[in-house]
Chain A
Amino acid sequence: MSENKLNKEQLLLDLLKKKFILNESAVRRAKRVEVKVDPKEIIPVLLYAKENSRYISFAHMSCVDWIEDGEFEVVYILWNPEDKINLFVKTRISRDNGVLPNIDFIWRQANTYEREIREMFGIQFEGLVGRQEFILEDWEHMPPMRRDFDTAEFVKKTYFKRPGREDAKDVREFVQERTDEELPDFAKKYSRD
């Protein structure tokens, strides 16, 4: 899309740049603006977007586990129904005991998202009121959406296999038998699980 067609997107970005310290910012494409801010800037940016720029709709909130960086990235997605633009506000906190401000006084429905993220990733929201248990019942493991949670291992321990599945074959072993290939023991650790 040519640049003059992205006027509204650019305008919003310039406005935010003037008002706040943005770590990163970009017009990703038409109808999509992304900014990255520090956690302490979250409430001011969201409030400003809602009250001053008509980003009145809270569309979504999600979380990404950047395990390699030791950080969580929380993404707030806002929607301006007049300009039809999505504003992505991203912030990063430490994976260990990271805390974010609660924003459910700005949009009431954020409460639900925050409870889900608290349960699935273990991120605490300061002042969040609501039952600890959200979807999971009697959960005693690591929050399951963290990338270091071993889903396959959990599944193996927790569930039994339905009867009638005993005839399953391992592809590698099946082909090996057909060809009389003799795989030495020390090589087996490199075979597919």
Chain B
Amino acid sequence: MAFFDLKGLLSPVTGLKQFGKKPHTIMFPDVAEHASDRYRGLHFNKLEDCIGCGNCSTICMNEAIDMIQIAGYEGKKGDSGLRPRVDNGRCCWCALCVEVCPTGSLNLTKDYIFVTPDANDFLWTPGIDNKEKGEENISFYSDKETSLSDYSRVPMRELDGDVRIQSFAEAVLGYNEEEARKEASRCISCGLCTESCPDHMHIPEYINAIARENDEDALRIIYDNNPLPEMCGKVCTRRCEDVCAMTHRGDAIAIRWLKRYATETAKNAEIIKEIVNPEIKEANGKKISIIGAGPSGLTAGYYLALRGFDVTIYEAKAKAGGMTFYGIPKYRLPAESLEKQVGYMQSIGVKINFNTRVGKDIDFKEIYNNSDAVFMGVGFEKPWTLGITGEDLNGSLQAVTYLDVINGGGDMEIGDKVAVIGGGNVAIDAARVARRKGADVTIVYRRRVEDMPADWEEIEGAEDEGVHIMPQGIPIEVIGDKNGKVTGLKFARAEMIPDPDGGRPRPKQIEGSEEIMEVTSVIGAIGQEGDYSFIPDDMKNQIKIERGRFVVDENKQTTLPKLFAGGDSANRTADAISAIADGFRAVKAIEKMLMK
């Protein structure tokens, strides 16, 4: 080294050029450290938004997350009530748990300092144990756009409205294989949906079977507790989809359409039998009679027959299916589809006596005395009338009667301008059928469109087909000519009065707003009730009936021990899947009662 090293002497002085500049370092601990914007620190969970689906726990490769019960979170439909707890000693902050959180409730924060002398303190529940440093410190959150989960449903193909009204061809076309696999693989298999299904079908399992390309297993799983799955796959009220984990930030999994896909892979009754290949127990000699071949009766019949009971169903009409055959129009549920499913049931030993009305063709008491147990799934056959003047005129009819005639293969003169009164699915069905018969149709409903109890897809479908909807219209009188033929409907406009008790707003007639709509028919669709005249009076006294429905316990048993009831005449939800659930529950109870 040279004795006189100029560079060595000057180097320290060059540091002076930094003088007065802002330093890159911070004065710790006076100034807090600042983590980057997407820093992945300790977890924070918004407990109110969390639904306890457990997706975080499932994806964690380090098994760092447990789902645990927490006081104050009871769980309800769509929420398991469980919440994640993290073992921070195992966590590697990969943030996959955040990435796949369907609600977006789980996040990572900028907070990363956690010091403890006891290693077991690393086990804590985000959202409870780090409340104070949580919400305002969130840095890594799940972004829907870049998420590993797919929040958009595979769209369903259907016929255009103007094509649909030309025939009774099925409007919805169904998923093909590729679409079904794609839609099925969106499911996160949490199973929260099963609680909302009245029948508690094994939804995540059959969807997963479809995703794994095993449609036959899917069908077997579906048939475990639903013998009319293709019907449900087409027309179910699908409360499962309302609580799907994906609805919180995207579209629910198309559970109904996936069920439809799986069931339609079996083209006829023989193929269903071949695939499902159920175990049929040896005949046990017990005789069960079922009144009504609707969804509840058929379900009870099918599972009782599998369990070795001698089952006979008495059906007043020529076809099985009850309201699903005579109420639901064929463009939603084709006759062949029901026949296929009923045909399969008959092939495993369910006997159906058609055109046999109990109370007329055969005595109820006789059935009751000759059977070990009786199940009634008699439904609501009798339509309510509007209770206004002119309802007895020619051209004033009830929707269920009209649908019954059309679905039974007949026809009914309704003219070319029809008013349908009501806002439920039956009203929409009647309107869309009348539209297919060439009429100009207006639905008159007392409340607003958003108050309509009908399925929104049905309302949209009706609008696509050119059905007019007149909300806030109160029918006052059906007007006729001197021959007693309907010529018009007198109605008034209504304003909505908020309900002080928090219920839905009530319509109130606006004075002087009466108008007359020229129509050729008025179709009422404001509800139905049961007709229990088939039960002789001395037995009726022993069967408790409240508000038009049989009173049943959780086993669907009426106040007469041998007598069970299900479906619309025994539950308040009045849909097909509830009827199926009733039938299934009654089967278990009947088996327990007779085979102990």
Contact = CB atoms under 8 A, between A and B. Distances in A.
Say whether A associates with B.
yes
Given A162-B120, A162-B123, A175 B192 contact: yes
B66 interface: yes
A184 interface: yes
Nearest to B66: A168
A190 B208 contact: yes
B61 A152 contact: yes
A187 B204 CA distance: 10
A191 B63 contact: no
Contact of A190 (B52, B57, B85, B212): B212
A190 B123 contact: no
Given A183-B202, A186-B220, A187-B202, A175 B87 contact: no
B200 to A, nearest CB: 4
A190 B206 contact: yes
Contacts of B89: 162
Interface stretch (B67-75, B302-310, B337-345): B67-75
A161 B64 CA distance: 9
Contacts of A174: 67, 80-82
A7 B511 CA distance: 74
Contacts of B61: 151-152, 155
Contacts of B191: 171-172, 175-176, 191-192
A155 B208 CA distance: 25
B245 to A, nearest CB: 10
B495 interface: no
How many chain B residues sit at the interface, stated as a range, is 35 or more
A68 to B, nearest CB: 16
Interface in B197-215: 200, 202, 204-206, 208-209, 212
Contacts of A186: 217, 220-221
B194 A156 contact: no
Contacts of B54: 170-172, 192
Given A162-B89, A187-B221, A192 B204 contact: yes
Contacts of A187: 202, 205-206, 209, 217, 220-221, 224
A192 B190 contact: yes
A167 B68 contact: yes
A179 interface: yes
Given A174-B82, A190-B208, A192-B189, A162 B224 contact: no
B214 to A, nearest CB: 8
Interface in B45-59: 52-54, 57-58
Contact of A184 (B58, B75, B188, B221): B221
Contacts of A165: 66, 85, 87, 123
B51 to A, nearest CB: 10
Interface in A103-117: none
A174 B194 CA distance: 11
Contacts of A163: 120
B125 to A, nearest CB: 12
A190 B205 contact: yes
Contacts of A18: none
A5 interface: no
Nearest to B54: A171
A178 B87 CA distance: 27
Contacts of A176: 191, 194
A179 B221 CA distance: 17
Could you say which of B53, B63, B221 has the most chain A C-beta atoms within 10 Å of its C-beta?
B63
A162 B204 contact: no
A139 interface: no
B354 interface: no
B514 to A, nearest CB: 51
Contacts of B208: 190-192
Contact of A161 (B58, B63, B195): B63
Nearest to B190: A171
A155 B53 CA distance: 23
Nearest to B80: A171
A155 B205 contact: no
A52 to B, nearest CB: 32
Could you say which of A161, A183, A192 has the most chain B C-beta atoms within 10 Å of its C-beta?
A192
Given A155-B63, A192-B204, A184 B123 contact: no
A19 interface: no
A186 B217 CA distance: 9
B90 interface: yes
Contacts of A167: 66, 68-69
Contacts of B212: 190
A186 B123 CA distance: 36
Contacts of A193: 58
A149 to B, nearest CB: 10
Contact of B189 (A161, A162, A169, A191): A191
Contacts of A184: 202, 221, 224
A24 interface: no
B53 A171 contact: yes
B331 interface: no
A180 B200 contact: yes
Contact of B204 (A151, A180, A190): A190
Closest 6 CB pairs of A and B: A168-B66, A171-B54, A192-B189, A181-B200, A151-B61, A190-B205
17 contacts: A155-B61, A155-B63, A162-B119, A163-B120, A168-B67, A171-B67, A171-B191, A171-B192, A172-B190, A175-B191, A176-B191, A184-B224, A186-B220, A190-B217, A192-B58, A192-B190, A192-B191
Given A151-B61, A168-B67, 12 more contacts: A155-B62, A165-B85, A171-B52, A171-B57, A176-B191, A179-B195, A186-B217, A186-B221, A187-B206, A190-B209, A191-B191, A193-B58
